[in-house]
Amino acid sequence: MPQAANFNEAIVFDDGGGLLSPLTDLRAAFDVRTGASTTLERLSRGLALKVSALVVPPRLADLTRARHRTPVNPMLDPARDDAGTLLVNGRCVLPLPEIPALRPGQTLVEAFTGDVIAHRVGPRASAAAFLAAPATTGERLTLQQHVLLGRPWHVRTFRDRALNTDLIDIGTLSFDYKLPGLLVFGEAPLRIAPSAKLYPGTIMDLENGHIVIDEGAVIRPGCTIIGPAYIGKHTTVLDRALIKANTAIGPSCKVAGEIGGTIFQGMTNKAHDGHLGDAWIGEWSNLGAGTVNSNLLNTYGDVVCRALGPGGKAGMLERTGIQFLGCMIGDHVKTAIGTRIMTGAILGTGVMWASGRAAAGTVPPFAWVTDDAEPGAKSFRFDKFAEIAKTVMARRKASPEQAYLQALRELHSAAQLSG
C-alpha cells in the first residue's frame, strides 16, 4: 500500500503510563473528559484522524469495546508493512501540529517525562513492532512542552487550553440562541442546540469565552453561565445555579450551586447548593447537599498531592505546580450532606464518605468512611456497593454490563483495605 494512503490513518494507544487513578480505573486514558470533549474526540477532530484501532491495557479492553465501534486491541501483524500509519499516545491531551508533521520513522517524545507522544511508522515497518518496543524504534524528536497526562491533577494543568480548543471546534455548529427571556452580553460565540431548553431569566456571560449548550440540555430559571463553559447533552442545570468559567459538564448530569473550573465526566449529580471549584468528577457519583470543596491553600502556595499507586495506596507527596486545585473524585463516589473536601484531595473509585470530618489527602478506593472509622480503615462491601451502583444507574435507564462489574470487582479486590 502506498505510504500516502495511510497518512491520515491512526492507531491511538493507552500505554498505561503515569499514575492516573481514579481517572482511568474504568476507562482508557483517551476516554477521560479533559475539556468539553474526551481526549480521543479532541485528537480525532483536531488532527483529522481516521482512527483504525485502539490499543489499551488488557484490563480495559472489554470496557473500551463497549464504548467504541473501532476495533480494540486487534491482532496486529508484526510482518505487516504499516508505513505511514500514525501512532498517537492517548495520554496526549492537545492536538499538537507536530504530530501530523512527523515523517516516517520519526518518534515525538515529551522532554518532561521521556515518554512517547506519537510515532509515524517507517517504511517496511509495522505498528506492532513499535508498540512492543516504543523506546527503541525510530528517530527521536523531543518536545519541550508538557502534554501527557501523568497524574490526575494534570487534567487541571491542561484544562483551559483543552476546553478552549473544544469550544472553538464545537462552535462551528449552527446552533440558535434567539430565545425569549435570555440575557446575553459579551462578544464571544454562543451556541445553543435546537433541542436544548432554556428557561427565562438565564444569563449568559460571553465577555471572556465561548458557551456551548448541547443537545437536550436544560437550563432552569435564574441560572448564570460564564464562558468559557460547556453544558453537555441531556444535562440539567438547576434553578439559580452559578456556572463559572472553565467548566465542562458531561452528558446526563444534574448540577446546582456554585461550580467553577470543574470537569464532570458525565452521569453524576451535584444537585444542591455548595461550592465546587477546579475539580474533576467521575461518573455515577453523588455529592450530598452542602458538599463544598477548597481550591486554594491559606498560604496561597502551590498544592501538593499524593497520587494513587498500585492497590490503591497513596504515593509520595508531589508538587503539582498549581495554585488553584480542588479535588479529583472517582466514579461511584458518595458524599454525605455537609461534606467538606480539602484542597488537592483525591477520592478513589467507590468511596463512601459519611463522616463529619473533612475529606483530605488521598482516600483509597472503596473506603467506607464514618465518624467511627479512619479513612482507609474499612472497605465498602462489594455486594452492597454493586447493589447501590445498579440502583443508581437504573435511575438513568442504564445497567452495568458483566465486564463493567468484573472491572469493579477487580479494583475492589486490589484495594488494600480491611473489611
The mean-pLDDT minimum among 42-56, 131-145, 293-307 falls in 131-145
Mean pLDDT of the chain: 92
The three cell numbers locating residue 175: 446552533
Looking at the chain, the whole-number percentage of residues with pLDDT higher than 90 is 83
pLDDT band at 1 (very low <50, low <70, confident <90, very high): very low
Residue type, 179: L
pLDDT score at 176: 57
pLDDT score at 286: 98
pLDDT of 154 strictly over 80: yes
What is the model's pTM? 0.95
Which region, left, alpha or beta, applies to residue 313 given φ > 0 means left and ψ of -120 to 50 means alpha? Answer: beta
pLDDT score at 169: 87
pLDDT score at 288: 97
Q: What is the mean pLDDT of residues 327-333?
A: 98
Q: State CA 327 to chain mean position distance.
A: 13
Burial (CB < 10 A; 0-12, 13-18, 19+), residue 286, is middle
Q: What is the mean pLDDT of residues 320-325?
A: 98
Spatial CA neighbour of 234 closest among 248, 206, 254: 254
More confident residue, 83 or 233: 233
Q: What is the DSSP string of 50-71?
A: EEEEEE--GGGHHHHHHH-SS-
pLDDT digits (tens, 9 = 90+) for 264-301: 999 999 999 999 999 999 999 999 999 999 999 999 99
pLDDT band at 179 (very low <50, low <70, confident <90, very high): confident
The mean-pLDDT minimum among 4-8, 61-65, 377-381 falls in 4-8
pLDDT digits (tens, 9 = 90+) for 406-419: 999 999 999 865 44
pLDDT score at 363: 95
The three cell numbers locating residue 163: 476546553
Q: Residue 324, Cβ neighbours under 10 Å: how many? A: 16
Q: Are strands 314-319 and 352-354 parallel, antiparallel or unpaired?
A: unpaired
pLDDT of 340 strictly over 50: yes
Q: 197: Cβ–Cβ under 8 A, 6 or more apart, which residues?
A: 217, 218, 219
More confident residue, 84 or 135: 84
pLDDT digits (tens, 9 = 90+) for 88-134: 999 999 999 999 999 999 999 999 899 999 999 998 888 998 998 88
pLDDT band at 81 (very low <50, low <70, confident <90, very high): confident
pLDDT of 242 strictly over 50: yes
pLDDT of 6 strictly over 60: no
pLDDT score at 419: 43
Q: What is the mean pLDDT of residues 9-18?
A: 96
Q: Which residues of 375-389 are buried (b: 16+ CB within 10 A; e: fewer)?
A: bbebbbebeebbebb
Distant-in-sequence contacts of 156-161, Cβ < 8 A, 24+ apart: 156/261, 156/278, 156/280, 156/320, 156/322, 156/324, 156/325, 157/320, 157/321, 157/322, 158/34, 158/35, 158/93, 158/94, 159/34, 159/35, 159/246, 159/261, 159/263, 160/228, 160/246, 161/93, 161/94
Q: What is the mean pLDDT of residues 341-368?
A: 96
pLDDT digits (tens, 9 = 90+) for 358-390: 999 999 999 999 988 666 668 889 999 999 999
